[in-house]
Amino acid sequence: MKFLLLSDIHGNFPALKAVAEYFSNTSFTAIFNCGDSIVYAPFPNETLHWLQSHNVHSILGNTDRKIKKLLKGKSFKKPGKQEKRIMYINTSEQMDERSKMYLLSLKKYFSFSAGNHKICLFHGSPEHTNEFLFPDTQIERFRELSAACTCSIIITGHSHVPYHKLIGTTHFINPGSCGRMFDANPAASCAVLTISDKSVEVRHYRIVWPVEQTVQALQKAGLPEIYQTMYQTGKKLN
């Protein structure tokens, strides 16, 4: 069985499209998406429509949950920076009815049986949507999460850092960010998980996408210039 792993698309449809085109000749058992599908790049409808039409198993990330609040007429305290709040408001105002209904249908967690393995999707960690798990997170923390979870394969996003760690008999996988990497390389990050009777293999990919397409869309929408620079440089600046 072969699975395409995505996370943190952040509304960057040109990056998502580049990933889809790269794997256009590859057959996957399923596609998994660990959330933060929208906010920061100005293509929420294109992104959510693609996920829905391709039957992607998606969950909610922290940005998605804030958009749900806005759609329900509620507010949120964080992020407090005005330049970030502008991006949330712009995203919620752009969304069409199909996108709204799709986002409102998503859950915080998803599990999938694959042979002898139980695959679980979380945005941050099994315990909290906002928890960051990095490759250098203390091994004891990974052990705690493994012991508290019945999954043998745990897939998360949120940190935007790709890795694969085997802790005891539990695989922790982060595909990185499809739409907003922070390592000074704008290329989209994703991963392919291959499961056989005897092995679990993970391969990470970096895929070039048309950055200027997103930059020009940000300019046209009159959104804060700092996001143009972030997409061009692949750096987190706020």
CATH number for the domain spanning 40: value is 3.60.21.10
Which residues make Cβ contacts (< 8 Å) with residue 114, sequence separation at least 6? 1, 3, 29, 153, 195
Residue 140 has pLDDT above 90, yes or no: yes
The separation between CA 38 and the C-alpha centre of its own chain, rounded to angstroms, equals 9
233 SS3 class:
helix
Q: Kindly report the CA angle at 220 between 217 and 222, in degrees rounded to 5?
A: 110
pLDDT digits (tens, 9 = 90+) for 89-99: 999 999 999 99
- What pLDDT is recorded for position 78? 77
| 238 part of a folded domain | no
Q: When comparing pLDDT for 82 and 22, which is higher?
A: 22
For the four alpha carbons of 51, 129, 185 and 10, in that order, the dihedral sign comes to positive
Structure tokens at 193: 């998980």
Strands 110-114 and 170-174, by their bridges, are unpaired
Number of structural domains the chain divides into: 1
Q: What percent of the chain has pLDDT over 90?
A: 95
Q: What is the 8-class DSSP label of residue 72?
A: T
- What pLDDT is recorded for position 75? 81
Query: Average model confidence (pLDDT) for the chain?
Result: 97
pLDDT digits (tens, 9 = 90+) for 50-81: 999 999 999 999 999 999 999 999 987 778 88
| 60 part of a folded domain | yes
Residue 191 sits in which domain range? 2-233
pLDDT digits (tens, 9 = 90+) for 181-236: 999 999 999 999 999 989 999 999 999 999 999 999 999 999 999 999 999 999 99
| 165 part of a folded domain | yes
- What pLDDT is recorded for position 47? 99
Structure tokens at 23: 């794997």
| 74 part of a folded domain | yes
- What pTM did the predictor assign? 0.96
| 162 part of a folded domain | yes
Instruction: Report how far residue 30's alpha carbon sits from residue 171's, in angstroms, rounded to the nearest whole number.
Output: 18
| 185 part of a folded domain | yes
- What pLDDT is recorded for position 77? 77
